[in-house]
Amino acid sequence: MQIPTPVQRANFRQLYADIFWFGVLSGSTLAFLTVYVARLGGNSFQVGLITAIPGFVNLFLSMPYGVWLQGRPLKTATVSSLFWHRLGYLALVFLPWLFQPRSEIWAIIIITLLMYIPGTLQAIAFNALFAEVVEPDFRAEVVGKRFAIQSFSISASSLLCGQLLDRIGFPLNYQLVFLIGALAALLSTLAVARLVVLSGSQLAPREISFKRRLALGKSRHAYPSQPAQTLLLRRLDLASAFFALQREWRFDLLRTPFGPFMGALLAFYTVQYIPIPLFPLVQVNLLQMSDSQISLANAIFYTSLLLGSLGMSRLAQRKGHRWLLVTNGAFIFVFPFLYGIARSAAVVYLNNILGGVIWAGLYNATTNRLMERVPQDDRPAHMALHNLVMNLGMLGGSLLGSVLGEALGLRPAMLLAAALRLLGSYLLWKYG
C-alpha cells in the first residue's frame, strides 16, 4: 500500500479543512437562505428562482469555462474564482440595512445569479485540481473522509445557528448566521489556496485534455457561487467556446442505448427538483416551524445521510448499482408526500431520517451506475451529455415546482410532486 509523502499529507489536511469550513457554510448560510426568503414573505416563484439559477448558469457557462481553462494553471483559476464566488455571502450580511423586505428578496436573487457566474468556473476548476493533488490510490480514502467531515460540520453548525436564530431578534439573527457563513467561506478558500501542486503536475493544465477536464467538471457538493464576471470572462474566446460546445455535446449519443437512459435521468432529475423550492415555504408558512426546529431537521438529515452511507457500498457490492439506484429511487416520493400531509415538525424529523438513508443510496448508486453505462473509450462525450441533462433537470424541476406552488397551493403541489417522483422512478427502473 502506497504511503503518502509529507506534501501529500499536508494537502490532505488542507482538503479536510476546506470541506469542514464548507460544511459550516452549508449549515449556516446555505441551510437558511431560502428559509430567510420565506420569512421575508417570498413566494414559491422567488424561492424557485434561487433554486433554478445554478442549473441555468451551468447550462450556458460550463462548456465555455472548460475551454477557457485550457492552458491555465488550475490552482490560480480555482482560488481566484472561489474568492469572487464567496464575496456574495458577505454581501448578504448587509442587505437588511439597505433594502425593504420585498426589495431584499430580489436583491438576493440577483446576488445569487452573479455568484454562480464565477461559481461555475470554480466547480470545474476545483474538481480538476483535486484530481491533480490527490493521487488515484488515495482518492477513495480522501473523498470518504471529506464526506464524513462535511456531514459532521453541517449538522453541528446547523444546530448552533438554529439556537442563535431563536435567541436573537430578526433580522440581526440572520445577519449573524450569514456572517458565520461568509467567514467559513473565507477559511475554506484559504485552505484551497494552501494546496501544493507538485512540479510534475504544473504541466497538467496544458497536457490534460479539455475532455478529461469536462469529465471532472461536475459541481462539488453544489457549491453556490458569486460575482465579478468581468475579470473571469475578459479573456474568454467565445467563438472557440461555441465550436467546442458543438464538438463536445454529442447529440448522436441519444440514438444509442445511452439515449433512453439519459431520458430517464432527465425525468428523474426534474422530479427531484420540483418540490425543493416548496420545502422551506411549507416549513415556515404551513408548519410554523421555528429556526431551531428547522436546524434540528437539517442535522437529522445529514446524520442519517452519513450513517446510511456507511452500509451502501457493501449493499451495492451484493446487489449491484442498478438495484441500489432503482430501489432507492422508488422511495423518493416519500419526501414530498410526507411534507404534503404533515401537520407538525415531528413528521419532518421522520421524513429526514428516511430521506437521509434514501439519498445515501442514491448518491452512491447514481455515479456508479452512470460509469457502468458509459463506455470507457468515449467517456468524456457521454459525461458532457449527462451534465447537460443534470442541469436541464435542475432548471426545469425548480421552475416547474415554483409554478405548481403558485397555481395549486403548497400541499396539493407537494402531493403532485410525490406522484411525479413515482413516475420518474418508474422510468428509471425501465431504462436505468
CATH code for the domain in which residue 342 is found: 1.20.1250.20
Poorest-pLDDT segment among 105-119, 308-322, 365-379, 385-399: 365-379
Residue 427 structural domain: 252-432
Residues 187 and 297 in one domain: no
At 132, the pLDDT band (50, 70, 90 cuts) reads confident
Round to whole Å and give the CA distance between 312 and 316: 6
Q: Are residues 300 and 344 in the same domain?
A: yes
In SS3 terms, 149-190 reads as HHHHHHHHHHHHHHHHHHHCCCCHHHHHHHHHHHHHHHHHHH
166 in a structural domain: yes
One domain, residues 52 and 137: yes
Q: Do 30 and 129 share a structural domain?
A: yes
**Using an 8 Å Cβ cutoff, are 383 and 249 in contact?**
no
Compute the average pLDDT of residues 107-125: 92
**Pair 177, 64 in one domain:** yes
Instruction: Tell me how far the alpha carbon of residue 162 is from its chain's centroid.
Output: 22
Given pLDDT bands bounded at 50, 70 and 90, which one contains residue 208? very low
Q: Lowest mean pLDDT of 64-78, 202-216, 309-323, 418-432, name the range.
A: 202-216
Domain assignment present for 397: yes
On whether residue 22 sits in a domain, the answer given is yes
- Do 213 and 262 share a structural domain? no
Q: Does residue 4 sit in the same domain as residue 142? A: yes
Residue written as grid cell 401537520: 343
What amino acid is encoded at 265 in this protein? L
End-to-end CA distance of the chain: 36
What's the number of CA atoms in the CB half-sphere (13 Å) around residue 87?
Answer: 15
Residues 116 and 48 in one domain: yes
- The more confident residue out of 27 and 235 is 27
Q: Please tell me the least confidently modeled range out of 46-60, 65-79, 133-147, 196-210.
A: 196-210
Instruction: Please tell me the total count of domains within the chain.
Output: 2
Residue 327 CB neighbours (<10 A): 17
Same domain, yes or no: 322 and 257: yes
Q: Are residues 279 and 188 in the same domain?
A: no
Q: Max Cα separation, the chain? A: 60
| Residue 205 confidence (pLDDT) | 40
Average pLDDT over residues 73-95: 93
In a domain, 7, yes or no: yes
Asked if 210 and 316 sit in the same domain, the reply is: no
Tell me the C-alpha distance between 353 and 301, whole Å. 6
Could you tell me the pTM of the whole model?
Answer: 0.83
Question: Does residue 178 share a domain with residue 303?
Answer: no
Return the closest-CA partner of residue 123 out of 232, 229, 18, 217. 217
